[in-house]
Amino acid sequence: MIDSDPVATYSWLADRLNDYNLAYFHVMRSDFLQEQSGDVMTPIRSIYKGVLIGNMGYSAEEAEGAIANKSLDAIAFGVPFLANPDLPDRFAKKAELNTADPSKFYSPGPEGYTDYPTLAA
């Protein structure tokens, strides 16, 4: 989602979502094309009272820091998991990550989903 004022939009939404007993609020901190600007996570965390999950471009270190300082409750790793089926092991070992191939996203069959090498391979 790209918005002309993402901070105001997400702040308003976070406030309204407090009225519901949601399991969590999952927020992408930017868009896929990196066209959106503005830190939406900080204002959301200051407003939203429930579980907040962040997504989009987090490194292992950044994710650990966000959870440690309670700015987020969890981090979702979508694309990194596609290219790294052993992502938690790679994070633990501080190993290099495979690069995802977006040209294979949403394609039929296993190519681009189950053919990335693991550390043990």
Quote the pLDDT of residue 57: 86
pLDDT at res. 39: 83
Rounded distance between C-alpha atoms, residue 95 and residue 88, angstroms? 10
Q: What is the pLDDT of residues 41-69, one digit of tens each?
A: 999 999 999 999 999 889 999 999 999 99
Distance CA 86, CA 120 (A): 9
The percentage of the chain sitting over the pLDDT mark of 90, rounded to a whole number, equals 61
Residue 107 pLDDT: 80
Place of tokens 């987090």: 58
* Domains in the chain, CATH or no CATH each: 6-104 (3.40.50)
Residues (pLDDT < 50) of the chain are none
83-90 long-range Cβ contacts below 8 angstroms, 24+ apart = 83/116, 84/116, 84/118, 85/114, 85/116, 85/118, 86/118, 86/119, 86/120, 89/118, 89/119, 90/119
Per-residue confidence (pLDDT) for residue 4, from 0 to 100: 82
Q: Residues near 117 by Cβ (< 8 Å), separated by ≥ 6?
A: 98
In the DSSP assignment, the letter for residue 99 is P
pLDDT at 73: 98
Rounded Cα distance, 10 and 38, in Å: 11
